[in-house]
Structure 1
Amino acid sequence: MRFAKIVSIAAALALSTGTLKAEETRQIYVECGGSFGDFVNRMKAKAEEMSYPPEVTEPFFRSANYLQRTINADRAQGIFNSDFIEFSRRLIAQYRLDKGRQESQKNDAIFSRIESELGVPRGILLSFWAFETDFGAFTGDFNTIDTLMTLSHDCRRPELFQPQVFGALELYARGDFPLDTQGAWAGEVGQVQMLPLDIMHRGFDGDGDGHVDLDHSVADALFSGANMLRSFGWRPNEPWMQEVVLPADLPWEETGVQPHHYRPVSEWEAWGVTPRSGAWEGPSLDGTLMLPMGRKGPAFMIYPNYQALFEWNQSYVYVATAAYFATRLMGAPVYDPGNADPRLSDGEMRVLQQKLAALGHDVGKIDGILGAGTRAAVQAEQQRLGLPADAWPTRELLNRL
């Protein structure tokens, strides 16, 4: 596979040939749907309005093809229906732990520079590097222009993907995005899987060769990932998560990953929450309790840096697993699984979401996935019904509703 070499941010801004700006994100440029050929022509015309010359727009848009397998992949994300224990055990295989520790040692100089210059710990970067591409072993086999154009044509989320097409066009205009660039089904490329606009505005030349090559340069990939996390609000040299032990009773309605649940760690300690091993990693910080499977399952204190991870990926279970894996790579023990109530089946979860929506809660799409909106609604209804409000949906709650 061949991937793009991306120029540094300073050079990229100087070499811009079009009018795409950093703030031009999350908008729909042209009408989605209809004939794919007509859609391609609309996108090409829009690019020419933005001052891209025909010698750039003609080959770029002429190369675009509709990819049905991109749509199939977009519709088939069933892995996120797993609960935390199932998902984490599936992703955190022994070989990934071993490989992560090997890569940490092999690239110690790179990680040390990142930790010193950007304040992002190696555990976090190793975790995302592992989950995104198995440490660069497989970075995707979807033609990136095809997949971005296909998702831009599809009317589910054109505001997310149409700007990325123009990001790719800008990079192509600079000679840094070959037409045969390949990556993931959603348009990300390279070892840490970055979208074109992220490459434009957050790419980092880690090896000092004047380019940001996310495919072949480990230094560029890791520095770019760290730089992206910093742009998401990562606070240098602060913790993100540690496992805790809970008392038998807590004000469970105060738990949860939403920012308004954060309070001084000293207050949680006063309620009887203690670290499972060692001392508090952020004794002077605010934190909150993340109970991915309710009060009877694994329990973690999370700190403000945890919120930055949701900008990388907005799946609750993915972020929880990546953050936990990072702690393992930094020496934490295997979590205590506890004895959580069984998760609802996909069908039961959809029924629960329908009931919650009927009660006026915004749970988003009725998809059977326990996301942030569903968790908040569950917690609210548990509190209303006098149940422990730990945001974990149980059959008792479903029956009560």
Structure 2
Amino acid sequence: MPFALARPACLALGLAALLATSANAESAACGGDLASFLQGVKTEAVTIGIPAAAADKALAGAVIDQKVLSRDRAQGVFRQTFLEFSQRTVSQGRLDIGRQKMKQYADVFARAEKEFGVPAGVIAAFWAMETDFGAVQGDFNTRNALVTLAHDCRRPELFRPQLIALIQMVQHGDLDPATNTGAWAGEIGQVQMLPKDIIAHGVDGDGDGHINVKTSAPDAILTAASFIKSLGFRAGQPWIQEVEVPENLPWEKSGLGNEIPASEWFRLGVKPRDGNTTFGSLPAALILPQGRKGPAFLTYPNFSIYLEWNKSFIYTTSAAYFATRLSGAPAYAKGNPEQGLSVEEMKVLQTKLDGVGHDVGDIDGILGSGTRIAVQKAQQRLGMPADGWPTPALLNAL
């Protein structure tokens, strides 16, 4: 059952804890002697009503994990194109397993949609993208990872509240601090969620009285559904829809943030491949991950939950597309995208764009949102189709 029904008293404590830790996050102590730091964490936990015994159990034996710090300092970024990344992640094998899982846990997925309004395909796609349906959940000790990141003074305001929430999970008997493993940044379980989100949205899907998103698929599925709903998912509405685009579209209207009614896109000649135009009243953005000659999609308000889950445009578009495939959509039309730029060429382009006043962020060779917007503006100024896809022709024109 939902966490709120299973433990009303604990939920009240959890909400109080989250409010208190949020209020004190920016002033949270970090660095220095580890024992003193841990004592401070225990004191904070006890102050907001968590039993001292739970804090002692959670923090006993905690150590700084240098591998966590190394991963934090050297976070990778997506250098693959949409076609490259989505073809690799949305493979036939994963689609087959996803459909089998949706059949195996049909009752759980049906409950998720009934209670939270989130379709099975949306949840299953995240399940696949995050851990290959639970097969690869990470091998970092979760307690040590969060202690390390909360103690480190780079982002303590993000991770100290997560450490407090982990203590609450220990208090509830939902996590063994000595043995629980997950991602280097503290995400836990089959859909890789942080302790605060598990505390706030955890659901006991298998009825054993605990919320174990690591080993229980029903718990993971329903907890993910609750979390996705909290991000603003609107039941009964689409999230992304593949479309065909005409050659004479005003390309400067494309891109995230440029929403107009979907019916207006249809009037301009944009055609859904599935023929469904019933959502014409919804605001929609036309996204062209590899320009006007590659795959094209309309994104609807529900696409925002993907951006809340992960800020990478390539990841989120791939995850949203994956969810449509699991929900019955055919494979996208690859098209014939124009040649893109190498990392070094992209850096040259970013330097040129920065030099004429465009905010591209870091000169890193990555086609992020800032660079896409700058490319689109430069294309429009130069009289080129402003589809946001950087090409050798644009680089030469600059």
Question: TM-score by structure 1 length?
Answer: 0.88
Q: Identify if the C-alpha distance between structure 1 residues 117 and 59 changes in structure 2 by more than 3 Å, giving closer, same or farther.
A: closer
Within the candidate set 269, 272, 277, 1:272 is matched to 269
1:292 alignment partner in structure 2: 289
2:80 alignment partner in structure 1: 82
Q: What's the CA shift for 1:139?
A: 1.8
Structure 2 counterpart of 1:195, which letter?
L
CA contact (8 A) 1:9 1:204 kept: no
Structure 2 counterpart of 1:137, which letter?
A
CA contact (8 A) 2:21 2:161 kept: no
1:134 alignment partner in structure 2: 132
C-alpha separation between the residues in 2 aligned to 1:205 and 1:53? Answer: 23
1:256 alignment partner in structure 2: 255
Worse overlay, 287-296 or 363-372: 363-372
Within the candidate set 317, 321, 334, 2:331 is matched to 334
Partner secondary structure for residue 26 of structure 2:
coil
Q: What's the CA shift for 1:84?
A: 0.4
CA contact (8 A) 1:140 1:183 kept: yes
2:311 alignment partner in structure 1: 314
2:385 alignment partner in structure 1: 388
Worse overlay, 295-304 or 270-279: 270-279
Q: What's the CA shift for 1:328?
A: 1.1
Partner secondary structure for residue 341 of structure 1:
coil
Structure 1 counterpart of 2:298, which letter?
M
State the Cα deviation string for residues 289-329 of structure 1 (Å, max 9, x = none). 11111111110111110111111111111110011111111
2:170 alignment partner in structure 1: 172
Partner secondary structure for residue 21 of structure 1:
helix
1:234 alignment partner in structure 2: 233
Worse overlay, 48-57 or 362-371: 48-57
Q: What's the CA shift for 1:265?
A: 1.4
CA contact (8 A) 1:92 1:325 kept: yes
Worse overlay, 21-30 or 138-147: 21-30
C-alpha separation between the residues in 2 aligned to 1:225 and 1:273? Answer: 33
2:373 alignment partner in structure 1: 376
Partner secondary structure for residue 148 of structure 2:
helix
> Unpaired segments of 5 or more residues in structure 2?
none
CA contact (8 A) 1:8 1:212 kept: no
Q: Identify if the C-alpha distance between structure 1 residues 20 and 305 changes in structure 2 by more than 3 Å, giving closer, same or farther.
A: closer
Question: TM-score by structure 2 length?
Answer: 0.89
Q: Is structure 2 residue 185 aligned with structure 1 residue 186?
A: yes
Partner secondary structure for residue 120 of structure 1:
coil
C-alpha separation between the residues in 2 aligned to 1:87 and 1:122? Answer: 22
2:200 alignment partner in structure 1: 201
Q: Identify if the C-alpha distance between structure 1 residues 245 and 16 changes in structure 2 by more than 3 Å, giving closer, same or farther.
A: closer
1:221 alignment partner in structure 2: 220
> Unpaired segments of 5 or more residues in structure 1?
none
**How many residues in Structure 1 have an aligned counterpart in Structure 2?**
395
C-alpha separation between the residues in 2 aligned to 1:178 and 1:68? Answer: 21
1:124 alignment partner in structure 2: 122
CA contact (8 A) 2:68 2:148 kept: yes
C-alpha separation between the residues in 2 aligned to 1:74 and 1:310? Answer: 21
Q: What's the CA shift for 1:246?
A: 0.5
C-alpha separation between the residues in 1 aligned to 2:52 and 2:91? Answer: 49
1:113 alignment partner in structure 2: 111
State the Cα deviation string for residues 152-208 of structure 1 (Å, max 9, x = none). 344443332222112212323444332122111121111111101001111123334
Q: What's the CA shift for 1:264?
A: 1.2
Structure 2 counterpart of 1:327, which letter?
T
Worse overlay, 377-386 or 271-280: 377-386
Partner secondary structure for residue 241 of structure 2:
strand
Structure 2 counterpart of 1:214, which letter?
V
Q: Identify if the C-alpha distance between structure 1 residues 339 and 134 changes in structure 2 by more than 3 Å, giving closer, same or farther.
A: same
Q: Identify if the C-alpha distance between structure 1 residues 15 and 347 changes in structure 2 by more than 3 Å, giving closer, same or farther.
A: same
2:394 alignment partner in structure 1: 397
1:61 alignment partner in structure 2: 59
Q: Identify if the C-alpha distance between structure 1 residues 165 and 91 changes in structure 2 by more than 3 Å, giving closer, same or farther.
A: same
CA contact (8 A) 1:139 1:193 kept: yes
C-alpha separation between the residues in 1 aligned to 2:10 and 2:344? Answer: 49
C-alpha separation between the residues in 2 aligned to 1:22 and 1:247? Answer: 53
Worse overlay, 200-209 or 139-148: 200-209
CA contact (8 A) 2:174 2:212 kept: no
State the Cα deviation string for residues 187-240 of structure 1 (Å, max 9, x = none). 111111110100111112333443322123222211111111111110011111
Aligned residues with identical type, % of pairs: 50
CA contact (8 A) 1:247 1:273 kept: yes
CA contact (8 A) 2:191 2:224 kept: yes
Q: Identify if the C-alpha distance between structure 1 residues 36 and 340 changes in structure 2 by more than 3 Å, giving closer, same or farther.
A: farther
C-alpha separation between the residues in 1 aligned to 2:24 and 2:343? Answer: 31
CA contact (8 A) 2:28 2:156 kept: no
Structure 2 counterpart of 1:379, which letter?
Q
Q: CA RMSD in A?
A: 2.8
C-alpha separation between the residues in 2 aligned to 1:255 and 1:209? Answer: 49
Partner secondary structure for residue 212 of structure 1:
coil
Q: What's the CA shift for 1:29?
A: 4.1
C-alpha separation between the residues in 2 aligned to 1:17 and 1:326? Answer: 32
Q: Identify if the C-alpha distance between structure 1 residues 377 and 53 changes in structure 2 by more than 3 Å, giving closer, same or farther.
A: same
Q: What's the CA shift for 1:355?
A: 3.8
2:346 alignment partner in structure 1: 349
Q: Identify if the C-alpha distance between structure 1 residues 384 and 149 changes in structure 2 by more than 3 Å, giving closer, same or farther.
A: farther
Q: What's the CA shift for 1:107?
A: 1.2
